[in-house]
């Protein structure tokens, strides 16, 4: 119970007048913990996004903000006349909105009633029988929904009774004013979840705490809560604020930082550093101090439990956090587009070029309609550019046909100009040739919220005809005919025909299958070999999401037979829910109801010769979970093999996922709460799993809930829940080491490879919760240079807007059996010069034994093999032809592999150090894609600082000379080792060397200067030299001023010698040509007169960068400097990896480079009359 209480206290805000019952924790906690086990990870990820937004310096202060939030208020009453009882008056509602604006006046946030739904609408839709005199205030007579409980069913019913399906929570802050919340005696006055709530998104308010007695005139409000501040408190939660007493004293601002230099008070407690921590406070006491080392609690804070007269303010940190919430999870809410869409006050003065295409994917020679948000806006010119050489000036919806897929995707841009204002919007349209037939068995999908997707045309088309009652949350399977029509679909409990009628109906009711609708691939429909019938395999679970379900994990693995005759489907009760009991060869499995074996929720299937493989997990003890393989043939179901999973925790979560690669040779498994993401090899001729490899570590390091293979089975995509989208290269001896980030801030609860060769997934972090994201080229390996080589796009199929509740579009993907492919060979890298080969045999051939020839006669007897999945080590670099024959020497397939020798790596960086003054060296290697590094010390003495497996390494030496060893491993498992000698050289003057670039007083030449460490005796005038190479072809010189020949960026190098030591420093300079004035970072103006008198302004102060090294956060401090400032970071190859312009730099600025790999970089900063560069180290 403690875990449940913490979960809800952490994530949901509620307010009560009773000191003993501040909110409906217990009831709502059970709902969250049972129905949405990922809730904590979801909210943690949102918190992380908000914190990163603020820490990266993108957060806005309240004085800079001007954000309007569209509001709809539903007064849900019990039938009394307006202005009495629960049917509060419009005047009372308006008094509350006015009070809300007063309370947020210092935050830069205002609230305005919405007046419409879309630019073509003139009103807010409302349910039948409702009334709406003032736009945005809707009175609904529904006594049941006026007394909602904090349960999924009750909150879903409230939303269904009030909000139109098009009034999405991403566009409107929806406020529900009701008689009671979670029972008349609960004492709860308000309730609001944080952004990204999986159950309810909006604000729930009790009618007698809604309004401001000072302006509403005779309102029946509670004496202690009559100033409208309960709503202010709840809107704080809605915008990601916690109670100020959240976490007790854990968020005290005592100056403690984490390893990245982030104050812990930004991560603990209420995650705001300027709000004193403590306990909940009621009434209005004079002063309360609870936490040691903290100041008195802020009894006046809106996020406390004090009464309305006592609460008067948000802190500056709270204001910044709310603005960050409006910039990240609730970004659509206050956008210009949304303000126009919702028709808030003053929307007529806004301009936007946003448009909506009828589809983001189309076939060539098919028309796409583009509808602008602003249609025929007065005094506005429109310019369309379709990216294929054609344009249009249409001010209304315009249709365009893309004649070819050759240059896909096409970037379509609309530019609007009105008076002195303009707006530009672009999106990409992906055009396919659509000349490859879609396999009929894969042509239709059944998705969450009773949505459908049809691929028969070659591109996905939304099927809007699924009845809303036929919904699922996560479980889905579809049986399609060979011609591409739906035969039936199921959510694991019910089965529906193509005409959406219920198959398992009986005497006006229905007999439920003993599955559940709450888990991914928890149900799968499999054809019964040599018949027209199907088995539907289900797993029992403790997760239920559809009202009326009675799922039980002890129901275990079962199957139900669907009798199919043409399009006639029957489902005899006698053939339903048949338990799978231990079969021949099985022992030690735990048994549940009806002796059914039970385990996690997942079950899936793949086709084999003469039948299908069935995969699931079954318990062998409270701490052992086995991944089990069954064979389904015309003879029935038999046991094939099993392998123990990494799940060892007792009472592990049922929420798990199993997927098989398209070629049937690999399988991926994860129990979402307790195991790592594991890749297995699968012998599809014997049914044996082997060779487990970990891709992701076990939670809490990573939490994945879905994944998808590329069409060629060589790559795997997954998302660390609510964080990043990743790609793994499975064609590697260590695929876990190949993880690449494709996109940041991506979440996926449902991901699937489509029959068109693209991967589709829903992303609950998107503002538009009703569209899929797409990976258009999933066979393409991403690289550091091209992280989106796979063509990920957040814009995909758009679904009808649905009521946001438990059936939102972000979970269910159909569990469909993939057909066997053509005869082929799948080579997988097994090590250096070594491959493992998988045979792929088409249905109809069904060979089960083979003869391999690897085209490598130098390997002797090893050149041939009769194994099903052999491994071969090639003898030398070159291209080899691999031939696969049947055991009777019938040719099956052929392929080639190329063995490439590995190039010798080169260690860059330090060659000397000084054990008595500066004993650190910094070295790096340029790693190619797929390569990893391992550094070690093999001579001398010292310690590696930080990680030893990055592209750069820092070493603190204790004895010199020394030797650094570097071993580089490529994606094929080949290694190459090199060493570098580090000598003893004590040059303290070069410990801290920077440069300056200044404009001359006259003319356009620039002056250059070197600065050495002032803390030691370092005077370049006493025996030192500086030789300048200005990078424009002129000879090196000791002259410190230079006129560049043309406007360009030049790399300037200074070679500095002093006291027997020599070092070099290089930096970029943007310079103007003769007569153009200095173009360097220092700026200034010049003329055509040549000047040889070397007078120039000096820097105001020498910049200081701390900490250095750092894990990512670097503070740049320039004493007494203010103004425009440019920051650039270069890697050691001269590539620009970070840039930021500060228009109003004031003394210091913190930059976040935590996204960069560990290594040595050059930080270049420039401002008026000042330029400097310094090496920085990112650990």
Contact 838, 825 (CB under 8 A): yes
Give the CA angle between residues 126, 131, 134 to the nearest 5°.
Answer: 95
In whole angstroms, give the CA distance from residue 881 to residue 876.
14
The SS3 of residue 42 is helix
Six-digit token pair at 160? Answer: 């269904």
CA distance 901 to 894: 24
List, as one string, the DSSP characters of 286-299: S----STT-----T
Q: Which two tokens stand for residue 1095?
A: 């007078």
Centre a 10 Å sphere on the Cβ of residue 979 and count the other Cβ atoms it contains: 12
The residues near 1007 (Cβ < 8 Å, ≥ 6 apart) are 997, 998, 999, 1000, 1040, 1041, 1094, 1096
As annotated, the active-site residues are 234
What element of type H or E holds 236? helix 229-238
Specify the residue for token string 């740049």: 1116
**Exposed e or buried b for every residue in 214-248, given b needs 16+ CB within 10 A?**
ebbeebebeebbbbbbbbbbbbbbbbbbbbbbbbe
Phi, psi of 735 (to 5 degrees): -60, -25
Residue ranges of E strands in 135-237: 137-141, 173-178, 188-193, 203-206
Can you tell me the distance from the alpha carbon of 883 to that of 896, in angstroms, rounded to the nearest whole number? 9
Could you tell me which residues come within 8 angstroms of residue 317 by beta carbon, excluding any fewer than 6 positions away? 272, 273, 274, 275
Exposure string (b/e) for 1045-1060, b if CB count within 10 Å is 16 or more?
eeeeebebebebebbe
Instruction: Give yes or no for a contact between 301 and 311, defined as CB atoms under 8 angstroms apart.
Output: yes
Report the distance separating Cα 1095 and Cα 1074, nearest Å: 18
- Residue 348's contacts (CB-CB under 8 Å, 6 or more residues apart) are none
The encoded tokens of residue 692 equal 């487990």
Q: Kindly provide the residue ranges of all beta strands, DSSP E only, lying in 946-1059, ordered along the sequence.
A: 952-969, 975-984, 994-999, 1006-1011, 1025-1029, 1041-1042, 1048-1058
- C-beta separation of 134 from 94 below 8 A: yes
Which of 751, 775, 753, 771 lies closest to 449, judged by CA?
Answer: 771
| Nearest residue to 266 (alpha-carbon basis) of 756, 1148, 274, 130 | 274
Read off φ and ψ for residue 10, nearest 5 degrees.
-75, -35
870-879, Cβ contacts within 8 angstroms, sequence gap of 24 or more: 870/836, 870/837, 871/830, 871/834, 871/835, 871/836, 871/837, 872/834, 872/835, 872/837, 873/831, 873/833, 873/834, 874/833, 874/834, 874/835, 874/899, 875/833, 877/833, 877/901
What single-letter DSSP state applies at residue 1056? E
Q: Residue 1147: count other Cβ atoms within 10 Å of its Cβ.
A: 12
For residues 450 and 466, is the Cβ–Cβ distance under 8 A? yes
Phi, psi of 529 (to 5 degrees): -55, 140
Burial tier of 877 (Cβ tally within 10 Å: 0-12, 13-18, 19+)? exposed
Dist. CA 563–CA 494, nearest whole Å: 15
The secondary structure of residue 904, as a DSSP letter, is: P
């Amino acid at each position: 119970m403690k875990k449940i209480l913490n979960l809800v206290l952490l994530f949901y805000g509620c307010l009560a007048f009773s000191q003993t019952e501040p909110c409906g924790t217990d009831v709502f906690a059970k709902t969250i913990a049972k129905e949405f086990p990922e809730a904590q990870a979801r909210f943690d990820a949102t918190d992380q996004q908000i914190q990163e937004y603020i820490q990266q310096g993108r957060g806005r202060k309240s004085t800079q903000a001007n954000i309007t939030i569209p509001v709809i208020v539903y007064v849900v009453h019990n039938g009394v006349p307006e202005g009495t009882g629960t049917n509060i008056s419009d005047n009372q509602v308006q008094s509350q909105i006015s009070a809300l604006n007063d309370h947020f006046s210092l935050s830069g946030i205002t609230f305005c009633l919405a007046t419409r739904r879309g630019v073509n609408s003139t009103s807010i839709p409302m349910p039948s029988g409702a009334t709406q005199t003032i736009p945005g205030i809707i009175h609904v007579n529904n006594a049941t929904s006026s007394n909602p409980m904090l349960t999924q069913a009750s909150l879903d019913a409230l939303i269904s009774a009030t909000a139109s399906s098009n009034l999405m929570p991403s566009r409107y802050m929806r406020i529900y004013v009701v008689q009671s919340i979670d029972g008349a005696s609960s004492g709860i006055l308000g309730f609001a979840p944080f952004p990204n709530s999986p159950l309810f998104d909006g604000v729930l308010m009790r009618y007698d705490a809604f309004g401001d007695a000072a302006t509403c005139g005779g309102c029946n409000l509670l004496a202690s809560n009559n100033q409208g501040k309960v709503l202010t408190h709840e809107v704080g939660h809605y915008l990601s604020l916690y109670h100020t007493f959240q976490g007790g004293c854990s968020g005290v601002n005592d100056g403690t930082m984490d390893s990245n230099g982030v104050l812990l008070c930004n991560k603990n407690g209420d995650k705001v550093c300027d709000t004193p921590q403590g306990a909940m406070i009621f009434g209005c006491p004079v002063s309360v101090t609870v936490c040691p080392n903290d100041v008195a609690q802020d009894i006046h804070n809106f996020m406390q439990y004090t009464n309305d007269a006592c609460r008067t303010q948000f802190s500056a940190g709270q204001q910044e956090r709310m603005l960050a919430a409006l910039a990240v999870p609730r970004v659509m809410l206050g956008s210009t587009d949304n303000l126009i869409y919702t028709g808030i006050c003053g929307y007529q003065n806004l301009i936007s070029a946003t448009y909506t295409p009828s589809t983001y994917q189309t076939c060539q020679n098919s028309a796409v309609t583009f509808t602008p948000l602003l249609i025929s806006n007065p005094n506005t010119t429109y310019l369309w550019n379709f990216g294929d050489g054609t344009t249009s000036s249409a001010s209304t919806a315009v249709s365009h046909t893309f004649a070819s897929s050759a240059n896909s995707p096409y970037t379509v841009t609309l530019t609007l100009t009105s008076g002195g204002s303009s707006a530009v919007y672009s999106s990409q349209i992906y055009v396919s040739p659509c000349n490859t037939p879609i396999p009929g068995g894969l042509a239709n999908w059944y998705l969450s919220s009773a949505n459908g997707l049809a691929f028969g045309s070659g591109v996905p088309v939304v099927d809007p005809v699924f009845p809303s009652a036929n919904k699922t949350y996560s479980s889905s399977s579809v049986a399609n005919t060979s011609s591409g029509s739906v035969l039936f679909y199921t959510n694991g409990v019910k089965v529906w025909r193509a005409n959406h009628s219920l198959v398992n109906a009986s005497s006006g009711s229905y007999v439920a299958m003993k599955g559940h609708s709450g888990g991914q691939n928890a149900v799968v429909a499999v054809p019964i070999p040599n018949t027209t019938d199907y088995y539907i395999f289900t797993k029992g679970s403790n997760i239920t999401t559809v009202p009326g379900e009675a799922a039980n994990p002890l129901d275990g693995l079962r199957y139900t037979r669907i009798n199919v005759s043409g399009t006639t489907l029957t489902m005899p009760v006698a053939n339903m829910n048949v338990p799978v009991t231990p079969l021949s060869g099985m022992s030690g499995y735990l048994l549940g109801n009806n002796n059914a074996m039970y385990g996690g929720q997942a079950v899936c299937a793949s086709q084999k010769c003469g039948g299908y493989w069935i995969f699931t997990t079954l318990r062998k003890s409270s701490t052992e979970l086995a991944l089990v393989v069954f064979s389904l043939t015309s003879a029935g179901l038999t046991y094939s093999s099993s392998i123990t999973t990494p799940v060892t925790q007792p009472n592990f979560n049922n929420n798990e996922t199993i997927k098989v690669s398209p070629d049937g040779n690999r399988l991926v498994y994860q129990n979402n709460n307790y195991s790592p993401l594991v890749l297995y090899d699968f012998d599809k001729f014997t049914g044996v799993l082997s060779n487990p490899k970990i891709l992701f570590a076990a939670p809490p390091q990573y939490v994945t809930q879905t994944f998808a293979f590329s069409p060629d089975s060589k790559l795997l995509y997954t998302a660390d829940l609510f964080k990043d989208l990743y790609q793994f290269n499975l064609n590697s001896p260590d695929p876990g080491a190949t993880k690449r980030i494709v996109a940041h801030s991506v979440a996926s609860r449902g991901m699937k490879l489509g029959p068109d060769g693209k991967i589709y997934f829903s992303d609950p972090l998107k503002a538009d919760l009703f569209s899929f994201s797409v990976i258009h080229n999933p066979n393409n390996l991403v690289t550091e240079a091209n992280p989106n080589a796979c063509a990920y796009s957040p814009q995909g199929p758009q679904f009808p807007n649905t009521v946001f509740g438990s059936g939102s579009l972000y979970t269910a993907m159909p569990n469909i059996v993939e057909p066997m492919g053509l005869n082929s060979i799948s080579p997988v890298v097994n090590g250096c010069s070594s491959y493992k080969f998988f045979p792929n045999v088409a249905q109809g051939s069904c060979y089960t034994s083979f003869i391999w020839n690897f085209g490598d006669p130098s390997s002797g007897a090893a050149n041939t093999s009769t194994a099903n999945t052999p491994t071969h080590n090639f003898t030398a670099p070159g291209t080899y032809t691999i031939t696969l024959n049947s055991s009777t020497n019938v040719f099956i397939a052929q392929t080639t592999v190329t063995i490439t020798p590995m190039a010798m790596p080169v260690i860059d960086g330090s060659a000397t150090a000084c054990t008595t003054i500066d004993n650190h060296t910094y070295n790096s290697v340029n790693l190619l894609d797929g390569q990893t590094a391992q550094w070690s010390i093999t001579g001398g003495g010292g310690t590696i600082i930080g990680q030893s497996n990055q592209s750069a390494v820092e070493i603190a030496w204790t004895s010199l000379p020394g030797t650094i060893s570097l071993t580089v491993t490529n994606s094929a498992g080949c290694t190459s080792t090199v060493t570098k000698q580090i000598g003893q050289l004590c040059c303290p003057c070069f410990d801290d060397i920077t440069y300056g670039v200044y404009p001359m007083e006259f003319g356009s030449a620039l002056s250059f200067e070197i600065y050495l460490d002032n803390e030691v005796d370092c005077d370049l005038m006493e025996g030192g030299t500086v030789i300048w190479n200005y990078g424009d072809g002129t000879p090196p010189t000791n002259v410190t001023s230079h006129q560049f020949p043309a406007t360009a960026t030049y790399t300037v190098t200074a070679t500095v010698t002093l006291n027997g030591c020599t070092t070099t420093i290089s930096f970029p300079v943007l310079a103007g040509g003769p007569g153009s004035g200095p173009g360097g970072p220092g700026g200034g103006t010049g003329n055509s007169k040549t000047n040889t008198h070397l007078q120039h302004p000096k820097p105001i102060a020498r910049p200081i960068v701390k900490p250095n090294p750092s894990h990512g956060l670097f503070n740049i401090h320039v004493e007494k400097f203010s103004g425009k400032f440019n920051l650039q970071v270069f890697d050691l190859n001269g590539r620009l990896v970070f840039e930021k312009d500060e228009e109003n730099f004031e003394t210091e600025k913190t930059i976040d480079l935590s996204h960069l790999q560990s290594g040595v970089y050059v930080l270049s900063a420039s401002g008026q009359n000042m330029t400097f560069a310094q090496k920085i180290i990112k650990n």
